[in-house]
Amino acid sequence: MKAKIAPWIFTASCPSIIGTVDVVTRYMAEAGNYIDEIHSFDDRESGLFFIRIEFLPQHDDFSDAVFSEHFADRAAEFDMEWQLTAPNHSPKVAIMVSKYDHCLNDLLYRFRTGQLNIDVTVIISNHPDLEELAKWHGIPYYHLPITAETKLEQEAQVRALIEQYDTELVVLARYMQVLSPSMCEYLDGRAINIHHSLLPGFKGARPYHQAWEKGVKMVGATAHYVNNDLDEGPIISQGIQTVNHAHYAEDLIAKGQDIERVTLFNAVKCHVEKRVFLNGKRTVVFGG
Amino acid sequence: MKAKIAPWIFTASCPSIIGTVDVVTRYMAEAGNYIDEIHSFDDRESGLFFIRIEFLPQHDDFSDAVFSEHFADRAAEFDMEWQLTAPNHSPKVAIMVSKYDHCLNDLLYRFRTGQLNIDVTVIISNHPDLEELAKWHGIPYYHLPITAETKLEQEAQVRALIEQYDTELVVLARYMQVLSPSMCEYLDGRAINIHHSLLPGFKGARPYHQAWEKGVKMVGATAHYVNNDLDEGPIISQGIQTVNHAHYAEDLIAKGQDIERVTLFNAVKCHVEKRVFLNGKRTVVFGG
Amino acid sequence: MKAKIAPWIFTASCPSIIGTVDVVTRYMAEAGNYIDEIHSFDDRESGLFFIRIEFLPQHDDFSDAVFSEHFADRAAEFDMEWQLTAPNHSPKVAIMVSKYDHCLNDLLYRFRTGQLNIDVTVIISNHPDLEELAKWHGIPYYHLPITAETKLEQEAQVRALIEQYDTELVVLARYMQVLSPSMCEYLDGRAINIHHSLLPGFKGARPYHQAWEKGVKMVGATAHYVNNDLDEGPIISQGIQTVNHAHYAEDLIAKGQDIERVTLFNAVKCHVEKRVFLNGKRTVVFGG
Amino acid sequence: MKAKIAPWIFTASCPSIIGTVDVVTRYMAEAGNYIDEIHSFDDRESGLFFIRIEFLPQHDDFSDAVFSEHFADRAAEFDMEWQLTAPNHSPKVAIMVSKYDHCLNDLLYRFRTGQLNIDVTVIISNHPDLEELAKWHGIPYYHLPITAETKLEQEAQVRALIEQYDTELVVLARYMQVLSPSMCEYLDGRAINIHHSLLPGFKGARPYHQAWEKGVKMVGATAHYVNNDLDEGPIISQGIQTVNHAHYAEDLIAKGQDIERVTLFNAVKCHVEKRVFLNGKRTVVFGG
């Protein structure tokens, strides 16, 4: 079986008008970029066009800068926002946690083994508990406690760390704090949170207890972008697990952990592979 | 492979105290009833005990009456509510529908082919559309139109039909009317409804449109007993289907139909096989 | 919510070389065809390129003939096999069955309600059992009995019917006969069969009994194109169902029926929507 | 919500005759043992009876020894094999691995966090790679290289370690060596292996490559007891993952890892909780 050559990834979105595909694919052909895979989609409700292309440059002098120079004007005609991502680009990721370690452990495992193409540069927590796990992976761990009174101050420290580590993506891996509106705005579109329910069911606190009360036969998890509306950010992925009458709330919590970590992993993977596009309050996810 | 002999089914529930199992299993042994399968469960929150037994009488003179005569006093000591169901008992079922026929078609198919051990004796609708389908299966169809003004009157007609046909179970197979409180009370515990969402998410009208708005990645369906709290009756079964950005509300509706019909079938099958027990606002479902 | 306008569908495949996408998308732009959705994929093992496009012509004079006239030469340069499918095209389908009716009933239900865009023109069976079901749907039913001695003769009759009804797709909806090599060749690539196991596990006869013997915890179904290698045709879709120790072979058969019919439906839907491409002994299925 | 009191677990099997349930439940009632949950099942093909009971002793002087003294004679009458398991009993587990660490990492995570009630006392590998992971968890790691010539000798060393650590269960967590017949016999019924396919499909080597060749749309994993027939031991649990044409063998391997580790975890958990019974070449798994 042939080895895979990692492709460049081109992604773009703009208003839906005729020619949006052609402006991209024609340039690719002219520039000698071999297209391996395309997904495009026009959302007829939002009137927006989305495209993701994996391609292999055929010329040795290919560069991000040359692509930009040649393509920028063409894109501008279509009011197109676009992005080029280098093969195997590993974005710098900050992970925020509290005491639960199942999501952190999973992300670090996949980071360490190369299953997830990220560069975890810093772990930030409001508790000291998970420091040893971070240490074993050789990642700096910051313990920034928080109280109602110190919330804004702590968030300022968090921001400083996010800046300091040139963070491209923040992952809230069961960080059990409600973010302030200004923090939400700061993270808008570049932070992924895992919520332990199938949103919009069971928003807010203790969703597994809520689920037990209702006697549901399935529990789930939702990974979504952080925005300024708590538990209402655009959904990237969801997962479920069947349960039954013999599962008490503590069992739902345990069973849910497997779903949470897989759902969060899927969302982060799709994000890193540039498969996710914001589309108003919704997302487009290609080949997720 | 040996042929299956259909078993008698014994079900019971009572407060959890020591001896609840023994009073049943000892009687079974003494009476020469061979136990094929037991499920029992004590809910530590509600303090209730539930048991379901499949058994094969070994004596020719076994009868419901004899069982009752011998067992009733023992059960009374434990404040036990219990029920005996004959092998292959087919309860008389009334199905209520509106215009959507996917659930009705599925139930009738399974009724006709013996996959579902029910006796569909009457179909009641507020629309005339599905009469031909009923006719082909040789089942009486009553078209009882309804308006805001005639709701109570129509419901009285429905009740009369339910009585007339000695109905043991009513199935609301996408009957698109909000039942009055008195009708809910009348049907309490002996009617199963299918709701086209993963309750308690997307209660109320047009759940697939709500789901589309939220950009969920999964849609589902919930089969539950009717009680006096709309869309809050005890849940029997749930099913889900993954969806993506390319699915508009009309696609969710189409995709959801497969989940609705399978989920409703599962719930009715569990009910008919006496696997479902009410446990406050929740249910116990054995081997569902 | 805006109503969906049914798109034209363009599909093509050819050897992977640079420019395969551009030759298509450039023509689409020049011809004023608005592209709604693209999927393309290059298989690096087979060295083949596959593309599927949904588009909306913007000019009133669009026609299949004009498209062909203008595009054929360009396609020829790339050795491209391509096909244009009109909006809501309903291919003429012949369904072959024996005695089991669950798949037939499902396909006819979806045909009747418009969930599946097919035109079922004829039903052919080696048994008389399902004639009434066909009749209720107003579809001609041919009972062509078969024995080891009459197999080739019967298959000739089947072929004659397939021709007579201008059949575009044959669906073997639990047709319980092994086709002769010449019949397989005749149907190659234009017949879909449902096998009641997760192929290549449990090939051959009585797969549910085989599954029970092995004590598997999941049973499944496989929809595949017919080719000259029995139960080895290219797989289009698969489905599974969890089972447990309490399920005997007869239970697996019953549980499997739901999977079989959904799996067959998915495969037929994907085929009809031109989502499926042959890729050697494998398939490419876009957005299935 | 009330806290759970960990129950004693009673399990038994014997030939199916009348009274098998009664002999157990009557003793439980007489001895003042409160039954929390029962599962029983009679397999009509094998003619065997299986039962699992969770119970809470009501008397302070309850002990394993007293139970045995009183119950042994009654059990003997029914030729009953039975076992009593203390609350939260953590069996001593030896894990065998090669180079893949996803299953090991998962088991150690769940061991460390208490999700899996086991006591991992030793890790044995034919490669040195995973020593650091073992070390971090404070578990002795033995590197016992193996070649065709040294197989029996190495296996003797493995056995010695299994004995030395009083091992109750051996878990082959992607140990990539074919065991000798004598080793299989030695481990019969007390070792669980994870195979990376949905057995009996894709037995033997490189199952994901086989799966890719066949173009399947689902890959899976199977956890089974080791017996003397390679890849044919009684199945405990299976899991699946959908895949598509864009997944090459290397992608199937990556995707399969999540299924492998969850499937293996489920099997080990069921075994530890005494939910699994051998039933010829098959298993009975209660409430798995």
Residue of B41, B218, B281 lying closest to A198 (CB–CB): B218
CA dist D147 to B220, D141, D157, Å? Answer: 53, 19, 14
Q: Which of B58-72, C36-50, C219-233, D93-107 has the lowest mean pLDDT?
A: C219-233
Q: What is the per-residue pLDDT for D107?
A: 97
- What integer best gives the mean pLDDT of chain D? 94
Position D41 pLDDT exceeds 90: yes
CATH number of C92-285: 3.40.50.170
CA–CA distance, C146 with C127 (Å, rounded to integer):
9
Confidence of residue B198 (pLDDT cuts 50, 70, 90): confident
Counted residue by residue, chain B has a size of 288
Question: How many distinct helices (H) and strands (E) make up chain B?
Answer: 8, 13
pLDDT of residue B201: 82
The overall average pLDDT reported for chain B is 94
Pick the residue from chain A with its C-alpha nearest to B215: A282
pLDDT at position C281 over 90: yes
| Neighbouring residues of B286: CB distance < 8 A, sequence distance ≥ 6 | B39, B41, B50, B52, B275, B277
Q: Which residues of D are catalytic?
A: 231
Q: Do C246 and B287 touch (CB under 8 A)?
A: yes
pLDDT of B176 higher than 90 = yes
Report the gap between the CA of A88 and the closest CA in chain B (Å).
26
Closest CA–CA distance from residue B104 to any residue of chain C (Å): 11
Helix (H), strand (E) at residue D124: strand D119-125
Question: What value does the mean pLDDT take over residues C226-231?
Answer: 80
* CB within 8 Å: B21 and D36: no
Whole-number CA gyration radius for chain D = 21
Task: Report the residue from D41, D198, D245 with minimal CB separation from C279.
Answer: D245
B253: its two tokens: 């509706």
Catalytic status, residue A231 = yes
Instruction: Give the whole-angstrom CA distance, residue B203 versus residue D43.
Output: 43
pLDDT at residue C2 above 80?
Answer: no
Strand order of the β-sheet with C81-85 is: A81-85, A8-15, A48-57, A33-43, C33-43, C48-57, C8-15, C81-85
Q: Out of C221-235, D184-198, D234-248, which region has the weakest mean confidence (pLDDT)?
A: C221-235
The mean pLDDT of C37-66, rounded to a whole number, is 94
Interior angle at CA C191, CA C118 and CA C181, nearest 5: 160
User: What is the number of other CB atoms lying within 10 angstroms of the CB of residue C44?
Assistant: 15
Residue with tokens 């890729």: C279
- Residue in A22, A35, A39 closest to C39 by CB: A39
pLDDT computed for residue B26 by the predictor: 94
Please state, rounded to an integer, the average pLDDT across all residues of chain A: 94
Per-residue pLDDT at B4: 79
B40 and D41 in contact by Cβ < 8 A? no
If pLDDT is split at 50, 70 and 90, which confidence band does A127 have?
Answer: very high
Domain boundaries, chain B: 8-85, 92-285
What residues of B are in contact with residue A217 (Cβ under 8 Å)? Answer: 235-238, 285
Nearest CA distance, A285 vs chain B (angstrom): 7
What is the structure's pLDDT at D263? 97
Q: CB of A197 within 8 A of CB of A231?
A: no
**Could you name the CATH architecture of A8-85?**
2-Layer Sandwich (3.30)
Largest CA distance in chain C: 63
Q: How far apart are CA B253 and CA C3, in angstroms?
A: 14
Indicate which residue of C36, C43, C119, C231 is catalytic: C231
**Is the Cβ–Cβ distance between B186 and B159 less than 8 Å?**
yes
3-class secondary structure, D148: coil
Question: For residue B10, what pLDDT band results from cuts at 50, 70 and 90?
Answer: very high
Which chain A positions have a beta carbon within 8 Å of C77's beta carbon?
none
Instruction: From the candidates A42, A119, A188, A231, give the one annotated as an active-site residue.
Output: A231
- Closest CB to B41: pick one of A198, A199, A246: A246
Which pLDDT band holds residue D105 (cuts at 50, 70, 90)?
Answer: very high
Q: How far is C171 from chain B (nearest CA, A)?
A: 20
CA C179 – CA D192 distance, rounded (Å) = 42
**Which residues from A are below 8 Å from B235, CB to CB?**
214-217
Q: Which residues pair with B193 in a beta bridge?
A: B172, B224
ipTM over 0.85: yes
To test the contact with chain D by mutation, choose from A251, A258, A273 the residue with the greatest count of D C-beta atoms within 10 A, namely A258
Q: B151 with B157: CB under 8 angstroms?
A: no
Token couple for D118 = 């086991």
The maximal CA–CA distance of chain D, rounded, in angstroms, is 63
The secondary structure element, H or E, covering residue D64 is helix D64-77
Q: Do D45 and B1 touch (CB under 8 A)?
A: yes
Size of interface B-D (CB pairs under 8 A): 68
User: What SS3 class is residue B229?
Assistant: coil
pLDDT tens digits, residue range B120-166?
Answer: 999 999 999 999 999 999 999 999 999 999 999 999 999 999 999 99
Say if residue A91 is preceded by a cis peptide, omega within 30 of 0.
no
Query: Which residue in the set B22, B37, B40 is minimally distant from D37, CB to CB?
Result: B40
Cα(first)–Cα(last) distance of chain D, in Å? 24
Shortest Cα–Cα distance, B260 to chain C (Å):
13
- pLDDT tens-digit map of A2-44: 777 899 999 999 999 999 999 999 999 999 999 999 999 999 9
The predicted-structure confidence for B17-37, as pLDDT tens digits, reads as follows: 999 999 999 999 999 999 999
- Kindly list the residues from chain D whose CB atom is less than 8 angstroms away from the CB atom of residue A287: 246
C229 has pLDDT over 90: no
Q: Please, which contacts does B247-253 make with residues 24 or more away whose CB atoms are closer than 8 Å?
A: B247/B212, B248/A44, B248/A45, B248/B212, B248/C1, B248/C4, B249/B208, B249/B209, B249/B211, B249/B212, B249/C1, B250/C1, B250/C4, B252/B208, B252/B211, B252/B212, B252/B219, B253/B196, B253/B208
Return the axis-axis angle of helices C249-272 and C102-112, rounded to nearest 10°: 30
Instruction: Read off the pLDDT of each residue in A136-163 and give the average, rounded to a whole number.
Output: 96
Question: Residue A116: closest CA among chain D residues belongs to which residue?
Answer: D254
Span of B138-152, B194-208, D61-75, D153-167 with lowest mean pLDDT: B194-208
Q: What confidence category does residue D229 fall into, taking pLDDT thresholds of 50, 70 and 90?
A: confident
Q: Which residues does chain B have within 8 Å of residue A240's beta carbon, measured at their own beta carbons?
A: 218, 240
Query: Count of CB atoms within 10 A of residue A62's CB?
Result: 16
